[in-house]
Amino acid sequence: MDDSKSVLLFSNCIPVKGASRSAICDLQRNSFQLIPNTLYDILHDYRGKNTKEIKSLYDNEYDNEIDEYFKFLIDNELAFTTLEPELFPSIDFSWKSPYKIENSIIDIDENSCHPFEKIFKELNDLGCKSVQLRYFTINITVDDLIEDLRPSLDSRIKHIDIIMPYSKGFDYNKLFEAHERINFLTVYSAPENKTIQKFDTPIFYTVEKISSSQHCGIVYPANFSINIDHFKEALHGNSCLLGKISVDIDGFIRNCPSTPYKSGHINEISLLDAVVDESLREFWLINKDQIAVCQDCEFRYICTDCRAFTIDNEKYAKPSKCSYDPYNAEWSNPSDNPFN
């Protein structure tokens, strides 16, 4: 390796330091690589210096280790060498959104009687991009689901996710033909775990039973969101609740269906009125750097937070459904560990 050159991470590869190790988040390839904190310090503290300068800063005592570190980065296509590091500025992580609402959850059970025309119209007026409908403990038919979604057809909503119970013989083709904006479909209480594609839409079958909003808030690597939009959002606000508004099974408007505060009933107030309610927005700007334990975690900007279920119900405590310990780099629930 030419020591006169600098080793720079690609602009989409962002190092994040944790208590015991660090992660390089590849926001383009939606992946991450774990690295020791000593390498993070070199990348962070000496960015732009050439390899010879960095080695001399350590009195040339660790030349072989530094060469191995940089070889690892280049071999894994995380970094490159250059004589002109000043030509490669860091990426701009400022965050702005033109939307009053980013995403929404609508919960439905057998007793729900939601005014879908009103809900989708108001979500459209708020500029909402994504909506998730979660059907609990009911056997929804394809015609019922198509009708619930019908008011979304004339909206600007880009993505619709569905969570629904398994139903033998359910006509997915008919559903996807009627609603092309369905982005992801989760089918719970299924006979087996598997994922299939229908009309380019993934259908995720799980044997797990999802019976209420209490199922929400589980943090594990399969739910990591490794992309620049999520990363920016997590730097500036809450990675789950920022820009979110929801309607629970009884029609009450909340930040998330599991958060305690109710802004009002969907039949009595509009989503446009609810979204300016400061109490509903209580958690929007709480980012991971403000949350105990999470602030020391190398995954803090790519995981999805939860403020509804926290340790001892404390506002700034770690999510109670996260089993990761960043101080020992261990998952207390081994099945959550992506490296098992």
What pLDDT digit, counting tens, does each position of 38-89 carry? 999 999 999 999 999 999 999 999 999 999 999 999 999 999 999 999 999 9
Please state, in angstroms and rounded to a whole number, the distance separating the CA atoms of residues 160 and 139: 19
Q: Is the pLDDT of residue 137 over 70?
A: yes
Q: SS3 breakdown of the chain: % helix, strand, coil, rounded to 5?
A: 25, 25, 50
Question: What is the rounded distance in angstroms from the CA atom of residue 329 to the CA atom of residue 36?
Answer: 11
Average of pLDDT values for 199-205? 87
Judge whether 113 and 251 are in contact, CB under 8 Å. yes
CA nearest to 104, candidates 329, 269, 280: 280
pLDDT of 216: 84
Write down the pLDDT at residue 335. Answer: 61
Q: pLDDT digits over 140-192, tens only?
A: 899 999 999 999 998 999 999 999 999 998 999 999 999 989 999 999 999 99
How would you classify the pairing of strands 22-26 and 13-17? antiparallel
Interval 10-23 mean pLDDT: 97
What 3 state SS string does 171-216 have? CHHHHHHHCCCEEEEEEECCCCCEEEEECCEEEEECCCCCCCHHHC
Q: Quick check: 282 pLDDT over 80?
A: yes
* Residue in the structure block whose two tokens are 């530094």: 66
As a whole number, the mean pLDDT across the chain is: 93
**Amino acid identity for residue 42 in this structure:** I
Enter the pTM of the model. Answer: 0.88
Can you tell me the distance from the alpha carbon of 309 to that of 215, in angstroms, rounded to the nearest whole number?
10
